[in-house]
Amino acid sequence: MTAPVTGPARTALVPVAEIFALRHAVLRPGLPAAAAVFPEDAAPGTFHVAAYDEAGTVRACVTFALEPLPGTDESAYRFRGMASDPAVRGHGHGIAVLRAGLAEAAARGAALVWCNGRTSARGFYEHHGFEVRGEEFTVEGVGPHFVFTIKLAASAAGNGADGSVGGPP
C-alpha cells in the first residue's frame, strides 16, 4: 500500500486521456467506457487535473468546465469526475487535485466554483470551505446529491508549491 502523501501531491494539468482510466474505474465501474465520457471534456475552457504518487501513477483526478451556476447567471467553473484511487483514499491525492483545480480556476479569473456532490461527501466539501446551495436531489442511477459552492479570490498565480497546478509530468 502507498504511504500517505506527506506534502502536497504532485499535480498537473493533463489531457483527459491521462485521467480517463481512473475516472471510468472509480465513477462508472462495470459500465461501458462511454459512460465516463463527459460532454464538457473537450469544451473550450475545460481543464483536467491529475495527482500522482511517487511512482508517477495517477491516483486522483478532476475535470473543471466553464458552466454557470444553475438558476443564476453567475459565471463559474463546475467540477465533476472527481475520483480517487480506492487504494490510496485518505492519503491526500483527492484534496490535492481539488486544491490544484480551485487554484487554476482562480488563476483563470473564476470567482465561483460549484459541483453536484454526493450527499455522503457533504462533510468533505464543508470541511474544505464549500457551502450547500439548495435542497437535496437525486441523480438517476447514482443517488442523493447537493449542489456545493465555493467562492474564490481570483489570482494571477496558478503555479506554486502549495499544491497548485504545474505543467505536465
- The answer on pLDDT for 128 being more than 70 is yes
pLDDT at 6 over 60: no
Span 128-137, mean pLDDT?
Answer: 94
pLDDT > 90? residue 72: no
CA 75 – CA 67 distance, rounded (Å): 7
Q: Residue 11: what residue type?
A: T
pLDDT at 160 over 50: no
Q: What is the predicted pLDDT for the residue at 7?
A: 57
- Mean pLDDT over 27-50 rounds to 93
Which of 125, 119, 123, 116 minimizes the C-alpha distance to 144? 119
pLDDT in tens, 78-100: 999 999 999 998 899 999 999 99
Question: Average pLDDT of 40-50?
Answer: 96
> Would you tell me how many other CB atoms lie within 10 Å of the CB of residue 154?
11
Tell me what the pLDDT averaged over the chain comes to: 86
The one-letter amino acid at 28? R
